[in-house]
Structure 1
Amino acid sequence: MKKTSIAILAIVGLIVLFFLMVNYYTEFLWYSSLDITQVMIKPLLWEVAFKLIFWGVGFAFLAANFVPLVNLFNKFSHNLRVVDIDKINSQFKPKKIHALLLAAVLSFFWMIIIPSVWDRVLLAMNSNPTGTVDPIHGMDISFYLFHYPIYEVLASSFLVLLVIAFIGVGISYFVVENFNPTTNNVDLKLSSKGIAHLSILVSLFLVWFILTRSLQRYGFLLTESNSLYGAGYTDVNVRMFFLRIQQVLSIGFLIGMAVNIKLKKKKIFMAIPLSLIIVSLVGGIYAGVNQRLIVSPDEESREHPYIAHHLEGTKQGFGLDSIKREVFPLDQQELTRSDLSGYEETLNNIRLLDYRPLKEHYHQNQSLRLYYDFNDIDIDRYDIDGEQQQVMLSVRELDSDSIPTDTQLNRHFKFTHGHGVVMSPVNQVTSNGHPTYYLRNLPVEAEVDIELEQPEIYFGEMTDEFAVVNTKDGEISFDEKEVVYQGKDGVELNPLRRLLYTTKYQKRILLLSNQITDDSKILYNRNIVDRVNKVAPFITLDGDPYPVVANGRVYWIIDGYTTSDKYPYSQPVNGVNYIRNSVKIVVDAYDGTVDIYQFEEEPIIEAWKHVFPDLIQPREEFPSYLENHIRYPVDLFDVQRNVLTVYHTDNPRVFYNADDVWEIPVERYHGEDIEVEPYYITAQLPNFEQEEFLLINPYTPKNRNNMNAWLAAGNDKDNYGQLYLYTFPPGDHIEGPSQVEAYIDQDPDISQQITLWGQGGSSVVRGNLLTIPIGGSMLYVEPLYILSESRSVPEMRQVLLYYNDVLVMERSLDEALDRLFGVVEDGEEYVPYDPDEIVDRNLRELVEEINSSFKAAEQAAREGNWSEYGSNMDRLAQLLTDLENEVDMDEFQQELDSEVEDGEDIEE
């Protein structure tokens, strides 16, 4: 029976070992295919080395404490045999090997619970001083970023080891020396040998205590005290003082306990730990009394310098210490249409497309195959005919869960990749309210000079399945033609590897399929986020990878961050109080090549460069064809804008009293108030000569709705990463987004129109409200979408503009600008807005659109395209409703007569 159990355990162990080896070896093959085996091997070797060191230290320490107990238990076992109290126990005689085995097992579990330290140690070994010191101890910040985390792990780990030893030794002496087997009585005594042994452990604890008091002094700068992150008045002037006292007294206690190893006095053994506890309690009580009686009555004054440290530390931690602050130069004179001619690039890039309706539109109209879909919508800018044009785009990826006839062959051998990109200018829509296209369809059709020679998407945000390429019959593309993968990525398959990957993925087709040839390769880790996490596990990735069409290919750009929670005096946000956008990662969507480029000189990434040589490339090697597509990351900007709601001030008194707290404003979307998201715009900053691609965010005072400031981040090459904070002059009232939304709700004409659109099963979707600085003032833009009951795709129907207390709604941005700023005649003369003239023009355009929609519906019916027919009929019904709301029927008949007198075929 015993042999059978051993055999079963051995077989189970071998099976587990086999699966572990399969996983490690296939991972090694993947890293080898990318020529970055150092990323896998170095952490593994260092981690194993450190774990073995910890195990060895733990084993030696516990063995040194447990082996002397063998003779003690042998004596106890002899006493049990004398009285024959337990026949089972009487047959057991402890030996040295038993103590060693117990020490080995306990040290193994102790090793397991110790956090991984290989990365901390290697970073510390490769770190350099930052040149910035903390304001209390004068220690370089590199100590906190690199060395303190190691000491913290060591301190907590060795305390656990001491506790294990103390409990084991203490219980042993208590049981053996206080249990009398002849009387079954339990006494409370401790032998001189036990006192000596435990005195050694207490002495070691005192050494630990003395060392960690120094560590705790630095730790005050990394903990929250009295709602202030970092050391406050009581920490610096009381608690740190008592730590010194504790250290001095502990040295005396240590000497006394060392002497007691020889004296073996129970009173000394009990008195020293008790004295240490009393000293610690006195220090804690005194600190509390000091806080209540001295600090709290005059807290703002006492904490003033430490609040200043907190403000400075938080700004440094989140990269806000170099922000440029200016008062926004409000121009009291209203803009005219002639003024707007100086901001053509800004106006031509006002985003009318909202990413939420646009994604649905792409899904419905540009997926084009059941097995293609779009993960999300991204925004970028491209050079179109010599002008910078903002666009929204999305990659047409493979949706493996929608593959027709979902077999292993189809999922992994045939349907292996997505195809192409869909791209739309942000400021253009068709007469039906649909987006226009720069790139669309299958194969990809380009309406502008953007080349895409390699449209296949093997690596993306939705690509989670492995794929086998270069098979006998090839892969299937969108046109059902076979294609052959020619990229660099992939692990070549031979019979042994086929067996290993069959084991890894539990897919028999890898072993049995006759489609696999000598040239076949397996592609895996194809999700770009998972892929980069494996290539650079020490980098925190941005949540929004975005595609770029350049050099005839599709590339993914992912922003990477180096982070820490150990920056002195910096207030943590989501567990992090230091963050830098240190790298940008480029992933080739066709062959999966991953390139990491350093974009900021900061200490953590510099250390990682030495840990993994050749993995991170310098900024200068970033591809020139991607240079104009780098963006300031939204995730980082979102953290920074939230931190600035409180930490925009430099005045400790203002911060303490919370006199100037800001908020992120809200906007209306789909009937709900949501927080305004950061958004990209093209605009000209004050005192700048030309427009820039910016990421911006407005602010409002806490519990108020007017806008008092806005934040912008530069994205263009010469200004990349620079933050600008513009505040409005005190006393000037600038409407905030929620106020403009309220004006829209309260406007009788607009609200009535929205109500009419909402009848008959349609719903109105309000897009992003954009706040655009232009000419010393703020222009607000919000598109309106109509979602009809019969069509699931929203259509953009109106544009709302708000400027200087005037709110208008028109069918296009140009018409809305005409309403606000006047119209242009003969290309030269700028004249004020004439309501009658605009109405006449609107009627003519409405009639033209009605005619166009009707003809399009007729053409669709003749072609049997009933989906397009339904769309045009819905559009026609909406246009007739618009016309009815615009004028009465007599005016309509007059306009209609004027349009058809030349024979136009509009049916009544």
Structure 2
Amino acid sequence: MLRKYKIPFILGALILIAIVAVAYYTDYLWYQSLDLSQVFLKPILLELLIKSALWAIGFAFILLNVLPLVEQFRIKRLRKIEGIPVGHQQFSISKKVLTLIAFGISLFWVWILPQMWDKILLLLNSTPTGQVDPILGRDFSYYLFSYPLYSVLSGILVSLLFLTISFVIAAYVIGGALSFARFKPQLSAQATIHLSVLLGIVMVWYTLTRGLAMAGVLVSPSSSLFGAGYTDVHVHLPLLKIQQVLGALLAVALLVNIKLKKVRILLAAPALLIIVTIIGGVYGGIIEKFVVGPNQLVRETPYIAHHIQATRDAYGLSNMEEVEYNVDDSGITSSILEDNQPTINNIRLLDYRPLQQHYQQNQSLRLYYEFKDIDIDRYRFDDKYNQVMLSLRELNIESLPDQAQTLINRHFKYTHGYGTVMSPVNAITANGHPTYYLRDIPVKSEVNIPLTRPEIYFGEMTDQFVVVGTLNGEFGHPVEGSEMVTQYQGEDGVELNTIRRILYAIKFGKPILLFSDEITAESRILYNRNILDRISKAAPFLHLDSNAYPVVADGRIFWIVDAYTTSNLYPYSQPTGGVNYIRNSAKVVIDAYNGDISIYKFDENDPILKAWEGVFPGLIKERAEFPQVLENHKRYAVDYFEIQASMLRNYHMTDPMDFYNRENVWEIPVEKYGGSEVRVEPYYVIMQLPGEDAAEFILKQPFTPLNRNNMVGWLAAGNDGDNYGKLKLFNFPRGELVEGPSQIEAYIDQDPEISQQISLWDTGGSQVVRGNLLTIPINNNILYVEPLYILSQSRSVPELRRVIVFYNDKLVMESSLDMALEKLFGVSKDETPNQPSEPGEPGDDDQPIIDYNLNDLVSKINQLYLDMETAAREGRWADYGNYGDQLGEMLKSLADLVEQQ
């Protein structure tokens, strides 16, 4: 029977080994192609070395404990023939079999052990932080690097002892050397000696790990906070010291028992430890209830102070500057508006959600292109600082028609996305659509942002492998009536020879890689193209921001991804999301065409990144090496800022009494989007902060008190120049009422004219969509701006039709921000921000918004008609259609104007 299955079993094992080997080797080829071989080889080789050494130790230890048990497996059984006893038959297990058992147990033990290579190398490359915990006086590096490794080693030893002792006890029970008579254990001399040795080792382990347990108290929750509280310091830590001494004494007693062979000593040792632990727990409960409980604030005050300080340190809040923001009752004047033109000119009217819909409908241009999300950045051109919204036109291969879903198309022809679309945040057309700085295929630029390499081989949606350098090339980008053919000119990818074609056909399960005539000697395979997956493989120790953002610079598209180092073992710090320490310690740059990965250090003081630099020398580049063309596009990380803002809701309170009483807890305000309430997200704005000389790009988050709607302050993070990374918390004076976002939303709902107009739109078959409500600080005043989108039955995307502005108890709704500001303050801006810095070329689907009178409309309609005739004569049918759309909008506006008059 066994021979029957021997060959299939061997073949199956060989196939499995071959598949694993192919996976590892092709992974190695990928790392090698990026010059990242150390990231692949070092963990594998070191882990193999560690596990081999541990297996040898475990095998030797188990074998030493198993071989003396040979006699326990000599079992006599009564032999019967046809039910008649005829004598005894002896069964035994040889030393060879016991050796195989030890081999199997040790192999299983090593298999279940956790990964260790990273903890060992981090400890070897760690340096002191210079900070010590306030209770044990240990440097924080102990908790970040030593504690994790020692904890794993402790668990490894415990698991080995557990497996060994379990097997030994089972053997003695089987052999009769360990039995129970009237619940009283009976042990042979050999069993007593053997178990005394093993329990003695357990006691040595227990003694050595009490110091580890003391450190664990500082990274565990207590009754009222995270970290050691009053009861921990005065009961639990002293108890651990007592247990440490007791464990050492019991270890000696058990070793002495090797000679004494007393069963009582063997049983009393663990029982005594259990009793001491129970007594300590009961005593701790008494202290907590009768000493701490009645005077908790007094008892816990110093430990609450440790907790607050550690949490602020761990989340990068201790260096935050706090500023009192006194609201100026004198109001906004024309001179204030003049002084704050950069802020006014960059008020973001576009909302990323409707904008994404608009891009998808009007700029995807082919079914297989998709805009995954909208990103916000800033660019300098025309001597101005311009905030923009942009998105990349990525390839979504799943959107190809079913008949086009061939392997050739999926992996050889449709290989990349193309170009970017960019809009100013505040320029709106007459029919409520965004205008463009970059648009179309091929890319047209209305400003000085050249894009000569628009292809996107590496992005957020590039999940397929592709083969480049093929016989007939790839589809480059659509041209009139066809597709332009191109060849990849980048350096990424693994060259495909015959052997590698076989290997990759196995890896991806695609025989076409082996048999296709498209593959030539120049062909290369590109895979792991999703930028987040790509970074995770190149630097698996980094946690990545959820929002990668593109930058157009030097004629190319680059991705910038913020990366974090984290820990859950920072003493006294409050955890959130499974971590209690986080730093935005690095930024990763990926070329969207070449796929090059560059990691740059952005936090010189982060001990975790420093250690990883030692683990992988040369992987992380210095801050000074960050590309100059990207310097003005670095952003304060959104996820990091959100975590900091969330922690700040409680940890802006630095006084232990305030913190304990929760007297001034904050929360993130809500606003209306569509018909529901949503949390106000952090948002980027260009504005001049109080005390600064110029406008800058900042990330901002307002706060309101818990269960109240007024605003109490706002957090700003600098993004530009020397202010990059600096946090400022602007607090409104207590007792001063400043409206919060939900209050402004309520004012809008209660305003008779505005609410009536919104109701008319709703009842007329249109849907009103409220955009982001922005709070814009201007010279110690707060301006509130909310765009209003209308989704009509005849349109598939919302159109920005109104802008609502609130200031100093005055609420207005107008067709443009210009008109709203003029109505509020009686002045207009010198320069209208609702127009792009450079007018678009003919063929724009929209033109910048203008407040038309009857003569203007007639003139514009006449001009559009002439433009249509010219476009038709010249065969520019795309322009002809765009002019026709604009003409339709103008005629609609004319009808509205006539109706109003």
Which residue in 2 is equivalent to 1:500? 503
Q: Is the 8 A contact 1:127 1:603 kept in 2?
A: yes
Q: Which amino acid aligns with 1:379?
A: I
Which digits, 9 at most, give the CA deviation of each residue in 1:34-83, with x for residues without a partner? 11100100011111111112222221221121111112112xx2356699
In the aligned structure 1, how far is the partner of 2:279 from the partner of 2:889? Answer: 80
**Alpha-carbon shift at residue 5 of structure 1 (Å):** 2.1
Counterpart among 375, 392, 397 of residue 395 in structure 1: 392
Contact 2:857/2:894 (8 A) holds in 1? no
What is the CA–CA distance in structure 2 between the aligned matches of 1:86 and 1:459, rounded to whole Å? 80
CA distances 1:429-469 after superposition (whole Å, capped 9, x unpaired) = 11111100000000000000001111111100000111111
Q: In the alignment, what sits opposite 2:571?
A: 568
Q: Compared with structure 1, are the counterparts of its residues 215 and 406 closer, same or farther at alpha carbon in structure 2 (3 Å cutoff)? A: same
**1:40: which partner in 2?**
40
How far apart are the structure 2 equivalents of 1:328 and 1:27? Answer: 55
Q: Is 1:203 aligned to residue 206 of structure 2? A: no
Distance 1:204 1:826 in 2: 83
Structure 1 length-normalised TM = 0.92
Alpha-carbon separation, structure 2, partners of 1:58 and 1:850: 91
Equivalences for residues 390-539 of structure 1 within 5 A: 390-404=387-401, 405-478=404-477, 479=479, 480-539=483-542
Partner of 1:171: 170
For the Cα contact (< 8 Å) 1:178–1:187, is it kept in 2? Answer: no
Secondary structure in 1 matching 2:378: strand
Residues 600-652 of structure 1 deviation map (CA, whole Å, 9 limit, x = unaligned) = 11111111111111111100011100000000010000000000000011101
Structure 1 residue 10: Cα displacement = 1.1
- Which runs of structure 2 are paired with 1:230-249 in the superposition (5 Å)? 230-249=227-246
Q: Which amino acid aligns with 1:57?
A: I
Give 2:247's match in structure 1, choosing from 221, 246, 250: 250
Once the two structures are overlaid, the 10-residue window that deviates more, 686-695 or 156-165, is 156-165
C-alpha distance after superposition, 1:645-665 (max 9, x if no partner): 000111011001111100000
Q: Does 1:586 align with 2:583?
A: no
The verdict on how the C-alpha distance between 1:772 and 1:817 changes in structure 2, with shifts beyond 3 A counting, is same
Aligned alpha-carbon RMSD (Å): 2.6
Matched, 1:607 2:611: yes
Equivalence for 1:830 = none
Inter-CA distance 689–198: structure 2 relative to 1 (3 Å threshold): same
Superposed counterparts of 1:409-808, under 5 Å: 409-478=408-477, 479=479, 480-601=483-604, 602-808=606-812
Alignment match, 2:54: 54
SS of 2:307 mapped into structure 1: helix
In 2: Cα distance, 1:695 partner to 1:185 partner: 74
Contact 1:431 1:849 in 2 (8 A): no
Per the alignment, in what secondary structure is the counterpart of residue 481 of structure 1?
strand
For residues 209-358 of structure 1, the aligned pairs below 5 Å read 209-358=206-355
8 Å Cα contact 2:217/2:228 also seen in 1:
yes
Q: What residue identity is the alignment partner of 1:367?
A: S
**Structure 1 counterpart of 2:380, one-letter code:** D
Alpha-carbon distance in structure 1 between the residues aligned to 2:386 and 2:460: 25
The equivalent of 1:30 in structure 2 is 30
Aligned to 2:65: 65
Between the aligned partners of 1:722 and 1:241, the Cα distance in structure 2 is 42
Match of 2:382 among 385, 389, 413: 385
Alignment match of 1:816 (pick from 820, 824, 828) = 820
Q: Deviation of residue 216 (structure 1)?
A: 0.7
| Matched-pair contact (CA < 8 Å) for 1:178–1:186 | no
Unaligned runs of 5+ in 2: 832-848
Segment of structure 1 superposing worse, 741-750 or 64-73: 64-73
CA contact (8 A) 1:324 1:723 kept: yes
- The 3-state SS of whatever aligns with 1:688 is coil
Quote the sequence identity (%).
52
Counterparts in 2 of 1:138-149, with a 5 A limit?
A: 138-149=137-148
| CA-CA distance at 1:9 after TM superposition | 1.6
Q: CA deviation at 1:326?
A: 0.9
Q: Is the contact made by 1:177 and 1:189 (CA closer than 8 Å) also made in structure 2? A: no
Whole-angstrom CA distance in 1 between matches of 2:633 and 2:89: 80
CA 1:675/1:400 → structure 2, altered by over 3 Å: closer, same or farther?
same
How far off is 1:242 after superposition? 0.9
Residues 861 and 891 in structure 2, CA contact (< 8 A), matched pair in contact too? no
What CA distance in whole angstroms lies between the structure 2 residues aligned with 1:849 and 1:763? Answer: 27
Q: Relative to 1, partners in 2 of residues 1:331 and 1:165: Cα closer, same or farther, differing over 3 Å?
A: same
Rounded Cα–Cα distance in structure 2 between residues aligned with 1:391 and 1:638:
22
Task: Give CA-to-partner distance per residue, 1:88-109, whole Å, 9 cap, x none.
Answer: x957530112222222222222
Secondary structure of residue in 1 paired with 2:769: strand
Change (3 A) 1:629 1:90: farther
User: Which segment is superposed worse, 435-444 or 262-271?
Assistant: 262-271
* Secondary structure class of the residue paired with 1:631: coil
- Over 3 Å counting, the alpha-carbon distance change for 1:379 and 1:572 in structure 2 is same
Larger mean CA deviation between 167-176 and 867-876 belongs to: 867-876
**1:403 Cα deviation after fit:** 2.5
1-structure distance, mates of 2:430, 2:562: 37
Amino acid at match of 1:237: H
Distance change in 2, residues 1:553/1:250 (3 Å): same
SS in 1 for 2:441: coil
Query: Are residues 727 and 323 of structure 1, via their aligned partners in 2, closer, same or farther at CA, if it must alter by over 3 Å?
Result: same
Amino acid in the other structure paired with 1:21? A
In 2: Cα distance, 1:66 partner to 1:428 partner: 81
Distance 2:792 2:99 in 1: 77
1:547-600 Cα offsets, whole Å, 9 max, x none, are 000011000000111111110001111001111111111000001001111011
Matched with 2:836 is none
Match for residue 896 of structure 1? none
- Whole-angstrom distance in 1 between the partners of 2:642 and 2:858: 44
Cα distance between partner residues in 2 of 1:883 and 1:577: 60
Residue 805 of structure 1 and its aligned partner are, at CA, apart by 0.8
Specify the SS of the correspondent of 1:235. Answer: helix
CA deviation after TM superposition for structure 1 residue 876, in Å: 6.2
Aligned to 1:901: none
Give per-residue Cα distances to partners, 1:383-420, cap 9 Å, x unaligned. Answer: 12121100000111111112241100011111111111
Structure 1 residues 858 and 55, CA, compared in 2 at 3 Å: closer, same or farther? Answer: farther
Preserved CA contact (<8 Å) 1:850 1:879: no
Name the residue aligned to 2:844: none
Q: Is the 8 A contact 1:857 1:872 kept in 2?
A: no
1:314 alignment partner AA: T
Structure 2 length as normaliser, TM-score?
0.93
- Partner secondary structure for residue 224 of structure 1: coil
Q: Determine if contact 1:73/1:176 at 8 Å carries over to the other structure.
A: yes
Q: 1: CA distance between counterparts of 2:248 and 2:79?
A: 46
**Alpha-carbon distance, 1:859 to partner:** 7.9
Tell me by how many angstroms 1:709 deviates. 0.7
Mean CA deviation greater in 769-778 or 853-862: 853-862
Q: Using the TM superposition, give the Cα deviation of residue 174 of structure 1 relative to its aligned residue in structure 2, in angstroms.
A: 2.0
User: What displacement does 1:873 show?
Assistant: 8.4
